[in-house]
Each structure stands twice: as structure tokens, then as C-alpha cells.
Chain A
Amino acid sequence: MRGYGSTLGLYQHGQGFLYRTPLSLKAVASLACAVAVVTWRSPSTTAITLTVTLCALLIGAHLSPLRILRMLAPAAPMLAILALYQGLAQGWLRAFTVVGGITACLLAARAVTLTTPMQSLLDGVVRLVRPFRVVGADPERFALALSIMLRSIPYLAGLFMDVREAARARGLERNARVAVTPLVIGAVAYAHRTGEALAARGLGEHDGDRDRGMDPHDPGA
């Protein structure tokens, strides 16, 4: 299995002011970008948000333009179809507004995950979810579930590429069943392995369960 962490994945160690910016500020800025794009749907809003996010990644995270383009590659087919549809149906200015706005939001969200270590991200999620404790939510479990979900995206992308290459090597790339079946089985096996790994490490347990646990340093335990 190859790793796709650098293409789709999460934190990348690096330099730049975005790495030193508090998570809360980055999250608010990312949210503001999405709100602006949705609230003021105009080419100028799109142009401004796109410029700001691009500058943030270029200057704030020291990324090259090529690297930014590669980050968008997985979403490129969907964006291209959307742009074509919007362009033909409602005009190219409208297509720029919609697709440019989505791209700005994607880049803004990516700027947050790219420059924030996973554990800091989880701490932020735990803080965010903490008020929901009163209705029975467990912030640590919520954060763990979110991190596993984020972690699974690049893994499954890698699995898809491996399966496709294996099918191609056997001359079966046009057979959808050959491509999909190993992907589904691989995904289920991955879920099973991850669950077992978490269980083996005692992660994702309720607080009450943990409180009942024995102290590993207690010789009398």
C-alpha cells in the first residue's frame, strides 16, 4: 500500500506564519471564507477569497504553485464538470463565481489541516465539542472518530490506485467489478484492522470505563 498523505492528507511539517497562527484563528478565517462565498455570490467575492487563500498558502505555508495545483488534483474532475455545466448553462462569469468559490473554500480548509498537527486539531475539536457533554457526547471519542475518518481518506485513495494498477496489470481495467470488489473488501479489512488496533491500545473508551481501569503502575493492581 502506498501512502497518499502528501497529496490528500493532513499535516505537513513546514515553515511560515500559518504554522504559528493559532488554530482558532485559522478555523475562523476558513469559516469566514465559506460564509463570504455563500453570502455574497459575485465574481469579485470569489476573486478576493481565491487571492487571499492562494496568498496564505504561498506566503503563509511556503507552498509552490505546483504543489497547490497538486492539492486540487483529486477534486479537479468534479470542478471541471461543474465549471462546464455552469459555463454552458449560466455563463462563464457565473462558472468562475461558483467553481472559484468552491476552490477557495477547499484551499482554505486545506490550509488549516496542512499547517495544524493532527493532535492540535483534535484538541481543538475536543474544545469545540466539550459543551455537548451535557447531552452525553464524549469529546475525545468524537475527536478520535474524526481523526480516523480524515486518516482514512488518503488510505482509501491509495487503495483505489493500487487496485486500479493491479487490474491494469492483468488487462482488466475496464471491468468495473474487478476494480470495485477488492476496493470494498480492502476498505472493510482496513476498518477491521483499525478497530482492532484501537481496541488493542485501549483508545476510544468511555471516561467511565477508563476510570474503572487499573493503574498500570500500581503493583497491587
Chain B
Amino acid sequence: MIEFRAAEVRSDDDQRMLLQPLTLTLSERRVSIIGANGSGKSTLLRLINGLRTPSAGSVAVFGRDTRTDARAVRQSVGFVFTDPLSQLVMPTGREDVELSLRARKLPTAERLRRGEEVLGRFGIQHLADRSIYDLSGGERQVLALAVVLAVEPRVLVADEPTTLLDLRNDALVRALIAGLDQQVVFTTHNLDFALESERTLVIDDGRIVFDGPPPDAVARYRALAGRSADAPGLDRTNGP
């Protein structure tokens, strides 16, 4: 359960509104967010696990405020970045999974056992001791998912998790996400992926312009994109 209460985000210099005041509750198991580059999708996602705090208003995950209980919220909300290399901080996958488990303060033997279990669940034991730089994009993204899910968060937030992937790996990551027990909130440019969710938000220029069933949301987004294509030049001025 994720609640936005009049949450808004301004740029650091306070000159631009990156996200207009937003009030909504996300309780569906799969929520997708679509919109143009720079429309505010990533900013919205970062609000959920406290990587970014609202300039005004508040965001709560299972009743915990992301500003006052940021660390507690992060333990319950896993975050998957677009580029897995931004996420993986250890030289090999096994070490990165174990790094995640260190936060749980488990005894070494238990940590190793759970690490193996996680690698096995995602079918990546054979990649565990290879350098993360030697893995393909798809393998890295699966590893990034494993690393985040190793600590069994209640919510998974994924920022364009399939953007850098080829079709085969795109399908693989989507299937993995579909099979998760956790609530998943993700941004994507892949409209087929968005259609797999239960609820879709369309965001444009920092404002939610549609919130509802994915097919209707995709149609709305296509209409928006068509209008933007007719206008000359770039239509965005704010960053993520």
C-alpha cells in the first residue's frame, strides 16, 4: 500500500515543478507508469523508497512516512535501476547478493545458504562468480533483480527495467517480474509491458493525466505522443 498525499517535487533551485501535487493510493499488485522522457516518471518512483523526498506533502509505504522513516521504508521497498551497473557494487554476483544479505545481520553460514538459494531461485548460479562486466545486459538485470529481492522486500520499484534489453531478455525479465509475490510498481516505455499491469498511470510534464485500466492508459499516451510529435522541437524542459 503506497499513499501519496499532495506530494510534489520541485527542482533543487526551486524554479521548476518536477512533479505536480499528487494524491493517490497504489494498492494493486502491478502498477505501471508510462510517459515521455523527462515527464517525471523516475521522480515519482524515487519518492516511493525515499531516494527523493517530496518538497511538499508526503508519501507513505504501509503507513511509514518516507521522509521520517526513510531507512525503514527502504528495507521494505526494493529499487531496481534502469542500468544494472548502477546497482551492482561488488565485482561478482555472488558477492553482491551476499552484500544485500549483510544488512540482515545473518550468521555467515546462514548468509551463504540464503545467497545460494537466491541465486538458484533466479537460475543464475552459473554466473555467480563471473565479473559483472562479463555478463550480458539481460544477465545483469536478472542479477540486479536477485540482489534486490534477496532481502525479500514487500514492494519492488523498477525504473524502466527492460529499456536496455533485447527482445529475449526483455521477455525474460518481464516473466520474472510477473511471477513475483511482491507488489511491483514500474515505469516503462514498452507499452506491451504496461498492458500486463493492473493499473497504469500516464504522466506528462510532471502531472498525472490518466489513471486507470492499462488499455485506456496506453491509448491516452499514444494520443499524447502523437500531439507532441506534431509540435516542433523538444517538448520537455524538466529533468527526471
Among the listed A3, A154, A158, A209, which residue makes an inter-chain contact with B71, where contact means beta carbons less than 8 Å apart? A209
A217 proximity list for chain B (CB < 8 A) = 152
Q: Which of A1-24 touch B at CB < 8 Å? A: 1-3, 5-6, 9-11, 13
Interface-lining segment among A27-35, A97-105, A173-181, A196-204:
A196-204
Q: Name the residue of chain A whose CB is nearest to the CB of B147.
A: A201
Q: Is the pair B95, A11 in contact by a Cβ cutoff of 8 Å?
A: yes
A218 to B: closest C-beta gap in Å = 9
B10 close to chain A: CB less than 8 A: no
B204 to A: closest C-beta gap in Å = 26
Q: Is the pair A202, B91 in contact by a Cβ cutoff of 8 Å?
A: no
Q: Name the residue of chain B whose CB is nearest to the CB of A154.
A: B91
Q: Which of A178-199 touch B at CB < 8 Å? A: 193-194, 196-199
Q: Is the pair B64, A198 in contact by a Cβ cutoff of 8 Å?
A: no
B90 proximity list for chain A (CB < 8 A) = 118, 147, 151
Q: Name the residue of chain A whose CB is nearest to the CB of B101.
A: A119
Among the listed A140, A144, A194, A216, which residue makes an inter-chain contact with B76, where contact means beta carbons less than 8 Å apart? A216
Q: Which of A117, A196, A201 has the most CB of B within 10 A?
A: A201
Q: Is the pair A202, B133 in contact by a Cβ cutoff of 8 Å?
A: no
Among the listed B89, B100, B102, which residue makes an inter-chain contact with A122, where contact means beta carbons less than 8 Å apart? B102
A148 close to chain B: CB less than 8 A: yes
The complex places the Cα of A158 from the Cα of B90 at a distance, in Å, of 15
Q: Name the residue of chain B whose CB is nearest to the CB of A214.
A: B72
B111 close to chain A: CB less than 8 A: yes
Q: Is the pair B151, A3 in contact by a Cβ cutoff of 8 Å?
A: no
B131 close to chain A: CB less than 8 A: yes
A2 proximity list for chain B (CB < 8 A) = 133
Q: Is the pair A203, B129 in contact by a Cβ cutoff of 8 Å?
A: no
Q: Is the pair B132, A3 in contact by a Cβ cutoff of 8 Å?
A: yes
Q: Which of A11, A198, A214 has the most CB of B within 10 A?
A: A214
1/0 per position for B64-99, CB-CB distance to A under 8 A? 100001011011101101000111111110110011
The complex places the Cα of A194 from the Cα of B99 at a distance, in Å, of 13
The complex places the Cα of A123 from the Cα of B75 at a distance, in Å, of 22
B27 to A: closest C-beta gap in Å = 14
B38 proximity list for chain A (CB < 8 A) = none
Q: Is the pair B71, A213 in contact by a Cβ cutoff of 8 Å?
A: yes
Q: Is the pair A119, B91 in contact by a Cβ cutoff of 8 Å?
A: no
The complex places the Cα of A170 from the Cα of B89 at a distance, in Å, of 31
B134 close to chain A: CB less than 8 A: yes
- CB-defined A-B contacts under 8 Å, sample of 26: A1-B85, A1-B133, A2-B133, A3-B131, A5-B133, A118-B98, A119-B98, A119-B99, A119-B111, A123-B108, A144-B102, A148-B89, A154-B91, A194-B89, A196-B86, A198-B89, A202-B71, A202-B151, A203-B100, A210-B75, A210-B103, A210-B105, A212-B72, A213-B75, A214-B64, A214-B75
Q: Could you tell me which B residues sit within 8 Å of A by CB distance?
A: 49, 51, 62-64, 69, 71-72, 74-76, 78-79, 81, 85-92, 94-95, 98-100, 102-103, 105, 108, 111, 129, 131-134, 147-148, 151-154
A10-B91, A201-B147 given. 4 additional CB < 8 A pairs? Answer: A118-B92, A201-B148, A202-B103, A214-B72
